[in-house]
């Protein structure tokens, strides 16, 4: 299974998935192998990791994206702090 470059949640909530080099990822967060950016709706994943680890990170970051989608579309942002 490959890592997709785009995921679409209900109501057209489009998520971009980018796999970054170590240097690019370190510029975002030196200590992370994956990052969810809610402003750009992008998941960043460290490319050099084994595919099984990248899949796990994608699933984890999609969880963050799903929660963001819920806050925006299901509760009108009421759950945001």
For every residue of 1-18, DSSP letters joined together read -PPPSEEEEGGGEEEEEE
Using pLDDT thresholds of 50, 70 and 90, give the confidence band for residue 70. confident
Q: Determine, yes or no, domain membership for 65.
A: yes
Q: Determine, yes or no, domain membership for 79.
A: no
Q: Determine, yes or no, domain membership for 16.
A: yes
- pTM of the model as a whole: 0.87
Between the CA of residue 47 and those of 11, 16, 18, 24, 66, what are the distances in Å? Answer: 29, 15, 9, 10, 22
Q: Determine, yes or no, domain membership for 81.
A: no
Token pair of 81 as six digits: 């702090």
From 36, 32, 44, 64, select the one nearest 3 (Cα to Cα): 44
Domain count, the chain: 1
Domain that holds residue 32: 6-73
Q: Note the pLDDT tens digit of each residue in 10-68.
A: 888 899 999 999 999 999 999 999 999 999 999 999 999 999 999 999 999 999 999 98
Q: Determine, yes or no, domain membership for 1.
A: no
């Amino acid at each position: 299974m490959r890592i997709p470059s785009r995921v679409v949640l209900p109501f057209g909530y489009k998520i971009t998935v980018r796999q970054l080099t170590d240097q690019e990822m370190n510029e975002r967060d030196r200590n992370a192998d994956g990052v969810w950016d809610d402003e750009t709706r992008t998941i960043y994943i460290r490319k050099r990791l084994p595919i099984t680890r990248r899949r796990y990170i994608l699933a984890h970051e999609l969880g963050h994206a799903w929660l963001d989608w819920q806050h925006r579309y299901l509760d009108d942002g009421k759950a945001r702090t």
